[in-house]
Structure 1
Amino acid sequence: MSASSSSGTTALVTGASGGIGAATALSLAAEGMNVALVARRKDRLDELAERIRSEGGNALAIEADITDQLQAAGAVAQAVKAYGRLDVLVNNAGVMLLGPVESAPVEEWDRMLAINVQGLLYTTHAALPHLLAAAAGARGTADIVNISSLAGRAPIGGSAVYSLTKHGIGAFSEALRQEVSGRHVRVSLIEPGPVATELFTHIRPEVLAASAEAFADATLLHAEDIADAIRYVVTRPARVVMSELLIRPDASQW
């Protein structure tokens, strides 16, 4: 089996209840992968899993808060128990709580650090032994895909802590790549520009109103655009490693 032959392999997607995560789950299921859907909103996961099954795929809905290490590890264990293996981990869960540092609610910083960074670390740590085992098998590789952001490359005022978390993901991804690439686990960093998802709905109304002008005429990417890129990355032959992929919308302001 090669990486481009995905039938029977298993992918776990965090933040799968909407946006990029849901689109990625649909895309990977269409590729023939078993898909473990991980998020806190079980009702949405159940709906997505049912849709995947109705389209001939295999999906498992796993309710978990990955900011809790035991729940993150439990989600990975459930996926492996259900499907017997884990070949692809997509660390997509994240929040974007923008605003100036001055007078910022510190609990927003805590939330971003917990989800964007600690959740990714916990899930990766739990998944890594299974990914290494899969890479040693017939497929010849396994994949960790970490979803960062254009903000991880080019921070702007009002995104200080969000950008910090995304820069951190980039640093972690590169160091991990060096640790595991010799054992055929590929680590890929995906850096989307602005995507039309519910991330914007998490921003405090006063901050969103202040930045509305900047986004008024902006071209936004779609969740499916990022899902398509993820699908491409994890279906390359084992000899091909897409270490970093920056995806911009067709607009000069980005």
Structure 2
Amino acid sequence: MNAPAVSPVLSPGSAVSPSKVVLITGASSGIGEATARRLAASGHRVMLGARRTDRIAAIAKDIQADGGAADHHELDVTSLESTRSFARAARERYGRVEVLVNNAGVMPLSTVDALKVDEWNRMIDVNVRGVLHGIAAVLPLMREQGAGHIVNIASVSGHRVDPTAAVYSATKFAVRAISEGLRQESRDLRVTVISPGLTRSELTEGISDSAVREAVHDQMGIAISASAIGAAIDYAIGQPLDVDINEVVVRPTAQG
């Protein structure tokens, strides 16, 4: 293993480091994969985390073949210890933890009266507890460094509630609330919420209700690519350290 490359500590108001160490959860597909590829192409060093280790290993290898800096580590965001292990691995590999992209999420939509309690709990565990675990894993490291950036992936469903999305929306409203509270408590930490609209990803495959899944698939003709979300994240983390892009909504032009 190569010796970790340590980024310089920059004072507020100075130009952003051209290369940051970025941790990405849920990096095996969709927005996470697209973000890893985009940020690596922009010169950042990325650490990919997901449960599908074969998949993130292949993505990291692709990035390296294209001249980017990437590594991977097994991650289950519902486990605090797994998330801490992911953060430690990134720090050991690269020397610092500068950005966390809390991307891992699930979206098993259903009406409330379907009483899919196990799916409700899964959404709470991944979408809310997973975000909190990510924050808990990196915040002490970022405080020690005197700077850091946490990017939380919410959704347009965190701004509005539609039928079948009550619980999913609740988790994404929670992500926005957690992010805003963390932002207000911080003077040396940047916090960004990215809220995607209809985006092509594997999220819809987790919908167990066939009627709901078909209805969602019927809407996906206008969906934007996951790379559009990666571009928004790239923009947010590329700002000078005294500029905090707090919230970005990215949706298809045709989405109502």
Same fold? TM cut 0.5:
yes
**Which range moves more in the overlay, 236-245 or 157-166?**
236-245
2:23/2:90 contact within 8 Å kept: yes
Give 5+ residue unaligned stretches, structure 1: none
Aligned partner of 2:179: which letter? S
Distance (Å, rounded) in 1 between the aligned partners of 2:123 and 2:250: 22
SS at match of 1:97: coil
After superposing on structure 2, the runs of 4+ consecutive aligned residues of structure 1 that deviate more than 2 Å are 1-7, 209-213
**What SS does structure 2 have at the residue aligned with 1:11?**
strand
> Cα RMSD (Å) of the superposition?
1.4
Q: Distance in 1 between matches of 2:199 and 2:70?
A: 25
Do structure 1's residue 96 and structure 2's residue 107 form an aligned pair? yes
* Partner Cα separation in structure 2 for residue 79 and residue 3 of structure 1: 23
Instruction: Quote the residue 1:73 is aligned against.
Output: 84
Q: What amino acid is the match of 2:193? A: L
Determine if contact 2:25/2:75 at 8 Å carries over to the other structure: no
Q: Paired residue for 2:211?
A: 206
Distance 1:117 1:3 in 2: 33
SS in 2 for 1:4: coil
SS in 1 for 2:222: coil
Q: How many residue pairs get matched?
A: 243
Is the counterpart of residue 190 in structure 1 residue 207 in structure 2?
Answer: no
TM (normalized to structure 1)?
Answer: 0.91
Q: What is the CA-CA distance between 1:96 and the residue it aligns to?
A: 0.7
Q: What secondary structure is seen at the aligned counterpart in 1 of 2:17?
A: coil
State the one-letter code of the partner of 1:95.
V
Q: Secondary structure, in 3 states, of the residue corresponding to 2:18?
A: coil
**8 A contact 1:88–1:144 mirrored in 2:** yes
Q: Please report how far the alpha carbon of residue 212 of structure 1 lies from its aligned counterpart in structure 2 after TM superposition.
A: 4.8
| Cα distance in 1 between the residues matched to 2:40 and 2:60 | 10
User: 1:114 and 1:3, CA in 2 relative to 1: closer, same or farther beyond 3 A?
Assistant: farther
- Partner Cα distance (1:157, 1:74) in 2: 38
Q: Deviations over 1:181-225 (max 9, x none)?
A: x1x210001111110111111112232124455x16x41111000
Q: Give distance in 2, aligned partners of 1:28 and 1:133.
A: 24
Q: Which runs of 5+ in 2 are unaligned?
A: 1-9
Q: Is the 8 A contact 2:87 2:137 kept in 1?
A: yes
| Percent identity of paired positions between Structure 1 and Structure 2 | 42
Is contact 1:3-1:235 (8 Å) kept? no
Distance in 2 separating the partners of 1:81 and 1:3? 25
Alpha-carbon shift at residue 28 of structure 1 (Å): 1.2
Report whether the alignment pairs 1:5 with 2:8: no
